[in-house]
Structure 1
Amino acid sequence: MKLSAVLIDTVSIQEYIFLSNKLKENIGASFLVKKIYEDILKEALKVTFSRDIDIKEWENDPTNIKINQDSEEVEIGYIGGGNALVLFKDKYKTTEFIKNYTKLLLVKVPGLKTAFGIIHDFDLDNFKNSMKNLHENLRENKNKYSPNVTLPKYGFTLDCPRTNESAENFEDPERAESFNEQDAKIKYISSVAWTKLKFSDKAKDEMIDKINDILNDKYTLTNDIEKLGQQEGKDYIAVVHIDGNKMGERFSKCESLSEYRKLSIGVRNATEKTFKKMIEILIKQIKKNKAFDLKNGEFKLSTENGKIILPIRPIVLGGDDITFISDGRLGIWLAEIFIKEFANHSINNEPLSVCGGVSIVKTKYPFYRAYKLAEGLIDKAKKESRKKEGSYIDFFISSSGWSGSLDGIINKHLSTVNGNLHFGPYRVDKTNEEKSLENLKYIVKEFKNIPKNKIMKLREILFEDKDNAKIYVKELKAKGVKLPQIKGMYYHEHIWQNKETPYFDAIELIDFYPEGLL
């Protein structure tokens, strides 16, 4: 049977979620992206077919393809990974549905761009090839059309102080109820910012409900970026982006809709279970580790309504894609936990794996730039993963406020006459490799036992000639100080080897990896 198929995709989703420097807007935006494949999709189908359509049915029984039945006009193929497949028997209904859906998006989620792949010869018996054709049509349509999803700006309209859009929403008292006092002082903001802010608290409540069995009414999450455990003088956050390895390849190999559905459900469940496990491990550390002591610990944990605010805030949690922020000193530790726990899951006896990018920046650092750094770091990690089939992590600490692309920063600020100071990415799932995360943590731990003035002197030496480095190693030996050694390598004697050194990354990490967690 030939069907009409519509593949819905979001365009520039990262820009929509992370462009604002306000955490509440980021959280609200992520919530809205999720809702366009839930409430709004359901409403558009109801308007199109004049009845309620169960958009969750495919999850309950992924092997049951109901569109084959004579009585069925429409069916959800799957929802996941930031897109949705909807199957129709009547091709004219596809046009009607897209009109209804996009109209609802303009009203309810201004600023969010979508694109559609549409074919009218979708064959469930030739699913793999049909999906390939559908994705090709989606790519064509993305390049052809650029929809206007916000009210246009004119010379006489007020600019929104939060976005680069026209400020057309008046903050009347009724609308201000869901905002905090600072938000309510702004009289006019764009509909884009207002909608994101409106749903931020609802997004928080939904996330708390998802992990409520772990929180035990003792812990909670925050929408305030200042309450993630930062201390004065250590006012840094970590933006952590984690993404699955070769997931697109695995989905493209699916031979049937039911196989595709099972993979989608399996990946999502693995991500959510891993996230909950990570939170569980964090709470255990908060309970027993002195670093988290409420009075004398390294972290300044805040409370809200008698509950301890966790020093982590998830922003995106869907499919194999997760983005969260935390106190800057916890980013790499939390990412490592997630990567290791995720590897314990498999689908059809095939193991799952992910890579991670961690950008550590000052709390006031532009959020979108921090996210783009994390994205660049994960690209480097995935490039290494494709070579060696493993789970990798890379990180960057922007203590100097450098701007530009990740490669630009590394080439401009971290390249010396001796070689590159950036040693990553680091392998997480193996400990016996030169560039393993375990080796890096070992060096950091050893550095914490060496006087800080000697470590800072080593940092200076890294920017100087190799000969100075060798002289400094001899000076340290004469004073009874030995540099940490990586098995089979000679960094501890020459500092540099093959134009690389692990010591700069380790020095940078000393203040961003609590000793009690090493």
Structure 2
Amino acid sequence: MYLVLLETSGNQSFIFSTNKLRENLGASELIYRTGTRSLLRSVQASCGVTLWASDARTMRQNLLHQTSIEDQTSTIKVEVILATSGKALLLVEDRATAQDIIRRTTLSTLKQAPGVDLCGVYEQLSQAQSESLGDLIHSKIGSLIYEHLSHVRARRPGPQSRFQRLPVTDECVTSGLPARYLKSRVPEPSSNPNRSQRQSAVSRVKEGARLNAADRINQLIQDRGWRFAKNIDELQKSANRENQDQDKDWVAIVHADGNGLGQVFLEFDQYVQKIDGEAKPKDYFSQLRAFSIWLDECTEAAFLNALETTFGDWARQEQEAHAKQQRDASQGKAQGEFRVVLPLVPLILGGDDLTVMCSGHFALPFTAAFLRAFEKQTGQAVGADSPYNQVKPLVKEALGSDRLSACAGVAIVKPHFPFSIAYDLAEKLITSAKATKKKVISAQNFDKPYPCSAIDFHILYDSSNVDLEAIRDRLKQDGDLLYNKPYVVTHLEDLESNVLPDSYAWAKQHHWSHLEKRVVALLKPAKDGNGRLLANNQAHTLRQSLFTGRDASNAQLSLIWHRYNREPEDKAALRPLLQTVAQASTSTNDQNGIDSLFEPAWLPKKQSPNPPSAKDSHPSGSTQLTGFLDAIEAVGFMPEAESSAARSAETSTASHEQTLSAS
């Protein structure tokens, strides 16, 4: 028996190598097809086993209910363990079948998706390895096949060598690769129409796959009467439809990724053996397949849940308004199908990965909703008769929790900002968010992080500097931090009972709910309904004072804050901007308990087998931080806070009018 591995490399570079959204969409679709359609059609041609289906749910069921290659009553010659975007793992009966499947898949990819870097290898399993999971683990066959893949990939030329420039060839206007075609029409104006028509083979197939990508991803929401935006212009038009006067001229790149799952897959065989000491290799392979498909389904369900949470009410209002308009205009005549265009374009959705472009106005609430939904979906109980009944014990063994977690980076930029640079920024932001795992440590296992979801974001007002490290360095003042990112999304009730005291204190200080409360406080309307309770010029003055140091900021705050201390209602409304500061300052005798925009920073120390109790936990040294600047940055990008402020404004105006009438 042979183990076959096919895997693409350089996926991010292939997808985001140009700034054309249509090519990004098509490239993602080509990567998806490589590990699914191309592979499964090759399996069908080589072995006569039909597993491919254009509907993703049907394909998953086909994979889950395969006939085992070890079934003595069957003549089956192949069993597909994984078939996902850009990756496939199979068991085959003989060397010839392994070679034939690799040859067919790589050849079809070379023809249909030039530029995709796909490589396939195989390793023989001995009789002992086929019958004993312990022997399979001991032989490190999983590591060996990946080492083999690395060696084969290193020995052959990369995909760039496929596109020679001799004889001298003009280059493609979008990819920079040698041009091969002249486009029959130019969809965008250009100062040089002859040059703009030149197109490389890679760009050609990416554009061609875009429509397939749109059809496949729109299947997820077609029963709701929705569809995703086709391009940035349609995305902006959809986002601005609700209020044409509101500035929503921002787009966001949201990149989310699961925490710790790479290590889970690498050590998956060991977790299977720990749970069942008598497990066989076939159990390992079937559970690996079930885990992979379960993860796909959880991510997809979390994505749909986030769409409903973020856009559901708005989309239904659009549908009702359109239906009324059509009834009034047509006087009962039948009309064509109408679908609400969501201001979002999915680029990657599979495994534990999610990458979307969406309206900047909705990016932060959508991302928070996705992370919460991902935790909820992966934490749901699995029935004993479910094909996923072994998944939850594996998750518990690997991560010390009944659920998974994920982190996300959100880069919010202007619409025509280079897409590839925005994606790079989102990647750096997710790296920052993933640093959470070093701070949130399990109370049951001091060597393991506890699954904790977090967001880091940046709104790029200054496009001259997109280096995150440099940006954050500028937000340090005399040892203090002028930011509170990343923000923890996981519910505090979950963390309080499962993580160390220092970890909980850090997570509480950095919790998403505090950012939401601060934004609501900044948007709180004045009693007469004219402007905000904390006037824009005062908020701006406080913002500027942060860059002059903590003492100067506190002095500036004292000049303003006394105006609000007179009214208990005003004081309570603005208290979220300061609420933890006075308590923390009093406990450390710093600032003598005065109100401040700063608070002592919690920096969890390296944990020991004897963790501190809650009463022993304390903030670190003299370093302080503020979330005020984060809140000012997020104003305008948190619709729920805006809605809350609008409702408050209506209530305040009505109350003010009643007071005037009474007087």
Find the aligned partners of 1:369 and 1:341 in 2 and give their Cα distance: 28
Letter paired with 2:263: E
SS at structure 2 position matched to 1:86: strand
Find the aligned partners of 2:255 and 2:232 in 1 and give their Cα distance: 17
Counterpart of 1:436 (choices 489, 503, 511) is: 511
Whether 2:71 is the aligned partner of 1:10: answer no
Partner of 1:363: 415
Partner of 1:22: 20
Find the aligned partners of 1:334 and 1:457 in 2 and give their Cα distance: 31
Partner of 1:407: 469
Partner of 2:302: 274
Q: 5 Å matches for 1:48-63?
A: 48=46, 51=48, 53-54=50-51, 56=59, 59-61=62-64
Partner of 1:333: 365
Find the aligned partners of 1:205 and 1:182 in 2 and give their Cα distance: 27
Unmatched tracts of structure 1, length 5 or more: 295-303
Cα shift at 1:461: 1.2
Partner of 1:417: 478
Partner of 2:325: none
When Rg is computed on C-alpha atoms for both structures, the one with the higher figure is: 2
Partner of 1:301: none
Letter paired with 1:391: S
Cα pair 1:58 1:76 within 8 Å, conserved:
no
Q: Deviations over 1:237-275 (max 9, x none)?
A: 111111112212333324300110111111111111111
Partner of 1:378: 430
Partner of 1:299: none
Greater strand fraction, Structure 1 or Structure 2: 1
Partner of 2:80: 76
Cα shift at 1:513: 1.5
Counterpart of 2:635 (choices 489, 496, 510) is: 510
Partner of 1:318: 350
Find the aligned partners of 1:62 and 1:402 in 2 and give their Cα distance: 54
Is the alpha carbon distance of 1:429 and 1:289 closer, same or farther for their aligned partners in structure 2, counting shifts above 3 Å? farther
Larger deviation: 379-388 or 25-34? 379-388
Cα pair 2:180 2:200 within 8 Å, conserved:
yes
Partner of 1:470: 554
Find the aligned partners of 2:635 and 2:431 in 1 and give their Cα distance: 25
Find the aligned partners of 2:563 and 2:317 in 1 and give their Cα distance: 34
Whether 2:169 is the aligned partner of 1:157: answer yes
Cα pair 1:385 1:392 within 8 Å, conserved:
no
Partner of 1:136: 147
SS at structure 1 position matched to 2:219: helix
Partner of 1:353: 405
Cα shift at 1:93: 3.6
Letter paired with 1:189: Q
SS at structure 1 position matched to 2:413: strand
Unmatched tracts of structure 2, length 5 or more: 53-58, 273-283, 323-335, 380-390, 394-401, 441-449, 493-506, 525-533, 566-573, 586-593, 601-622, 645-663
Partner of 2:658: none
Letter paired with 2:230: N
Cα pair 2:172 2:199 within 8 Å, conserved:
yes
Counterpart of 1:222 (choices 215, 220, 229) is: 229
Cα pair 1:357 1:393 within 8 Å, conserved:
yes
Cα shift at 1:46: 4.8
Partner of 1:298: none
Q: 5 Å matches for 1:451-466?
A: 451-466=535-550
Counterpart of 1:203 (choices 213, 216, 228) is: 213
Whether 2:569 is the aligned partner of 1:485: answer no
Q: Deviations over 1:144-179 (max 9, x none)?
A: 44423542223621110010201102324xxx6xx8
Q: Deviations over 1:408-435 (max 9, x none)?
A: 3322x33333433232111101347011
Whether 2:159 is the aligned partner of 1:148: answer yes
SS at structure 2 position matched to 1:358: strand
Letter paired with 1:320: D
Cα pair 2:8 2:119 within 8 Å, conserved:
yes
Cα shift at 1:236: 0.8
Find the aligned partners of 1:313 and 1:57 in 2 and give their Cα distance: 24
Find the aligned partners of 1:201 and 1:57 in 2 and give their Cα distance: 22
Higher relative contact order structure (alpha carbons within 8 Å, sequence separation ≥ 6): 1
Larger deviation: 306-315 or 441-450? 306-315
Cα pair 1:81 1:320 within 8 Å, conserved:
no
Letter paired with 2:456: D
Cα pair 1:58 1:78 within 8 Å, conserved:
no
Cα pair 1:67 1:74 within 8 Å, conserved:
no
Cα pair 1:240 1:335 within 8 Å, conserved:
yes
Larger deviation: 329-338 or 151-160? 151-160
Cα pair 2:578 2:597 within 8 Å, conserved:
no
Cα shift at 1:517: 5.5
Partner of 2:38: 40
Cα pair 2:64 2:290 within 8 Å, conserved:
no
Letter paired with 1:85: L
SS at structure 2 position matched to 1:65: coil
Cα shift at 1:336: 0.7
Partner of 1:261: 289
Counterpart of 2:260 (choices 234, 239, 246) is: 246
Cα shift at 1:280: 2.0
Find the aligned partners of 1:517 and 1:136 in 2 and give their Cα distance: 54
Find the aligned partners of 1:427 and 1:9 in 2 and give their Cα distance: 33
Cα shift at 1:117: 4.3
Cα pair 2:102 2:121 within 8 Å, conserved:
no
Q: TM-score, normalised by structure 1?
A: 0.87
Letter paired with 2:564: G
Is the alpha carbon distance of 1:34 and 1:436 closer, same or farther for their aligned partners in structure 2, counting shifts above 3 Å? same
Cα shift at 1:316: 0.7
Partner of 1:495: 598
Greater helix fraction, Structure 1 or Structure 2: 2
Is the alpha carbon distance of 1:305 and 1:27 closer, same or farther for their aligned partners in structure 2, counting shifts above 3 Å? farther
SS at structure 1 position matched to 2:170: coil
Cα shift at 1:492: 4.5
Cα pair 1:418 1:496 within 8 Å, conserved:
no
Find the aligned partners of 1:12 and 1:286 in 2 and give their Cα distance: 38
Find the aligned partners of 1:403 and 1:99 in 2 and give their Cα distance: 46
Cα pair 2:114 2:201 within 8 Å, conserved:
yes
Find the aligned partners of 1:48 and 1:318 in 2 and give their Cα distance: 27
Cα pair 1:21 1:366 within 8 Å, conserved:
yes
Whether 2:118 is the aligned partner of 1:118: answer no
